[in-house]
Structure 1
């Protein structure tokens, strides 16, 4: 019988490059050679390229985080006998009791929902994990995000809106991985806003949707960026449409390079998506991407509270939302040009609405905290 040790190095690399992200840690612990191979930059690039051929999503599902693969092969081509689009679970990540997940450049930030009041940062590809104890008790209205500055130093943003009052001054904290420190800040925006939402990471920074206020009148939804290099918020940026708090506005990252925004007005069936042609903390420009009609699902959704993802090459959007007709059902709607639409179940039923974020694997190392002797405590699984 042929053993793995009898195979050529090229064949071993090809086999290991097909290992799912959720199984990498177990495979690496099998032998020293495989562990060193997963640390090799050329191999990790090859592995990540294979993983990137499908849309990958981290979904928090009944307090567990799962890696989901969205396969869009065959979209627009069912008459040619190609495979139907599908959504499947690749595996669960080894971190239970999760209430919130945030992604940046291959790193995941979890907020646990038990009594430990802790944040967990992990890289599913390398298996590294770091626990972070916040200074205060975690509040349900606190917002969290992870990103990095121009020197690739990773940091965590923590701020809260404990009420729905209009604010112009934002108080926040930054946890710095390099110095293992937590610092407090205060920043005044150029205009007052309601509580920011729909946060996601792109190119190291965090972007939010925030509704500006014009005196006593409701203002437009705007885009707000937190710049980790300057450690402050940028100016309010315009979205490619005018909308207010009654409309649904969702954000999504496109290959970690562009930002996409979806608009569904509360009184309309039509949805529109734009993607950025330029995105910086203080400047943004947009282009139309896709427009489609959700009239066949009109009884189910007046407003959206879920997530969406796009494949710009196939000109397809995937909208993930809880089914209002049966609240335990989780649905995905694959929408494209010329009226193309498909409805797919997402892992059946759950007690609570799933939280989702796009995921792109990477070999980024998590800098560990200092021990009592001043040395870094390494954890590499």
Structure 2
């Protein structure tokens, strides 16, 4: 057998791209070349085994892999008090999972087995977590909000992982256009969750005065401010339409829309990689339109039950709850519903999100702890 140093780089990439991410960890010690490759974000994004979902109930977390057979496995999350905590949101943050528990949140990398508990301030115990990002110095932070009992406006805070400190932003979401810097007015967030990409947090929103003209806003963790990033390509929107933003190949956006009237599904992708210098040059392309009569209704009646999805080659894979709360996996391609599978091992109305595995360590606190403390 050829020595590992003599194997062509392309062959090494092809072989390792078929290895599950949790198995890649032990291969990092083979050589410096392999360690550099395995830690490369582009390599992880192109891994052939990364397509999956995570589903969470009050006491259990499941992984659902589509490769191409659908496999469901119960996962172990080292949270001693998980059974007494009710998860509120489950958010994929570039390879880290953020699970908001109402009175705090868990940050978890399931492949490294690392967890960390984020404790809210005692004067704001009920806080809503939105996502994780990082600034120019690669300092990881969490974006969160709270509302005082007597207040009508939402207040925003960030949590710094390195110092374990909270910071009030003293700002409302009165955003500026990143290309013109003109004030646009107050906005309304869409019911679906946001996502983190390249250290920046994004979410679908609209101005209060033009409710159904949707765009993406971002929160820049370096300057700690909101901006309008770019317009969305879909038009003729209705508040009952399903509209979900996602990541594609780790560095682009994907957008799913389903009409509440016709059930037609449309998928858009951004043509080029997304950078943090503003969205004036963002171009969208129509990747898929499906209008088959057997398409499911992607229920979005509850903010925590939004559909989650990913693109697998030329197929769309969706996780969504039906009207009774049961989770289903739908595989769509060639203008047709290829298959659907009910996930009956999971209790109704689970939280769920698509997930791209990574070898990013959970950011440590000032004491360097990685284990969860409750």
Whether TM-score is above 0.5 comes out as yes
Q: Does 1:296 find its partner at 2:294?
A: yes
Report what 1:235 is aligned to.
Answer: 228
Deviation at 1:177, TM superposition (A): 1.3
Does the 8 Å CA contact 2:52/2:63 hold for their aligned counterparts? yes
SS across alignment from 1:152: coil
Q: 120, 123, 126: which one pairs with 1:138?
A: 126
- Match runs of 1:118-129 below 5 Å: 118-129=104-115
SS across alignment from 1:134: coil
Report what 1:208 is aligned to.
Answer: 203
SS across alignment from 2:228: coil
More strand by proportion, 1 or 2? 1
Deviation at 1:206, TM superposition (A): 1.3
Does the 8 Å CA contact 2:129/2:142 hold for their aligned counterparts? no
Deviation at 1:146, TM superposition (A): 0.8
Distance 1:296 1:156 in 2: 40
Q: 87, 101, 105: which one pairs with 2:94?
A: 105
User: If the length of structure 1 is used for normalisation, what is the TM-score?
Assistant: 0.73
Aligned length: 329
Does the 8 Å CA contact 2:88/2:101 hold for their aligned counterparts? yes
Farther off after superposition, 94-103 or 37-46: 37-46
Q: Does 1:55 find its partner at 2:51?
A: yes
The alignment yields a C-alpha RMSD, in angstroms, of: 3.7
Report what 2:179 is aligned to.
Answer: none
Provide, for residues 15-51 of structure 1, a one-character-per-residue CA deviation record: whole Å limited to 9, x for no partner.
9x96773x99xxx9xxxxx699499883585497596
Report what 1:192 is aligned to.
Answer: 186
User: Gapped runs of 5+ residues in structure 2?
Assistant: 6-14, 176-183
Distance 2:245 2:50 in 1: 19
Distance 2:239 2:157 in 1: 27
Deviation at 1:120, TM superposition (A): 1.6
Structure 1 280/159 Cα, relative in aligned 2: closer, same or farther at 3 Å?
A: farther
SS across alignment from 1:218: coil
Find the structure with the greater CA-based Rg: 1
Provide, for residues 163-197 of structure 1, a one-character-per-residue CA deviation record: whole Å limited to 9, x for no partner.
9x9x9x86311111123211111142222222344
Q: Does 1:151 find its partner at 2:137?
A: yes
Q: 253, 269, 288: which one pairs with 2:247?
A: 253
Deviation at 1:379, TM superposition (A): 4.8
User: Gapped runs of 5+ residues in structure 1?
Assistant: 1-7, 29-33, 73-85
User: If the length of structure 2 is used for normalisation, what is the TM-score?
Assistant: 0.74
Q: 321, 334, 345: which one pairs with 2:331?
A: 334
Report what 1:70 is aligned to.
Answer: 66
Deviation at 1:238, TM superposition (A): 0.8
Deviation at 1:262, TM superposition (A): 1.0
Deviation at 1:161, TM superposition (A): 6.9
SS across alignment from 1:42: helix
Q: Does 1:273 find its partner at 2:259?
A: no
